[in-house]
């Protein structure tokens, strides 16, 4: 398992969804990986919906909208 901090690079308004750099999430992946987007960003989608009510899929988010860092 690997822990990552995911931070949006800039403010985006897409399909009625708003993503801003203040919307930081911390996710734990199910496997030891170097990229938290490895499986279609399932953990990231769940974290954004649970914490911010932000629908990652509806906003058609891509990996390049975010920065990430491994925490442990």
- pLDDT (0 to 100) of residue 5: 97
Domain count, the chain: 1
Which DSSP helix (H) or strand (E) runs through 47? helix 42-52
Distances, alpha carbon 14 to alpha carbons 1, 44, 65, 67, in Å:
31, 17, 12, 18
Tokens representing 48? 């954004």
- pLDDT (0 to 100) of residue 1: 84
Residue 60 CB coordination number (10 Å): 12
Q: What is the pTM for the complete model shown?
A: 0.88
Tokens representing 8? 């949006």
Q: Give the bridge partners for 68, in sequence order.
A: 6
Query: Which residues of the chain register pLDDT less than 70?
Result: none
- pLDDT (0 to 100) of residue 22: 96
- Residue 39 domain boundaries: 2-70
- pLDDT (0 to 100) of residue 68: 96
- pLDDT (0 to 100) of residue 67: 96
């Amino acid at each position: 398992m690997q822990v990552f901090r995911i931070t949006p690079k800039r403010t985006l308004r897409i399909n009625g969804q708003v993503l801003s750099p203040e919307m930081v999430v911390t996710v734990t992946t199910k496997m030891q990986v170097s990229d938290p987007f490895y499986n279609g960003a399932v953990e990231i989608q769940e974290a954004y919906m649970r914490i911010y009510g932000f629908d990652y899929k509806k906003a058609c988010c891509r990996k390049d909208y975010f920065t990430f860092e491994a925490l442990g």
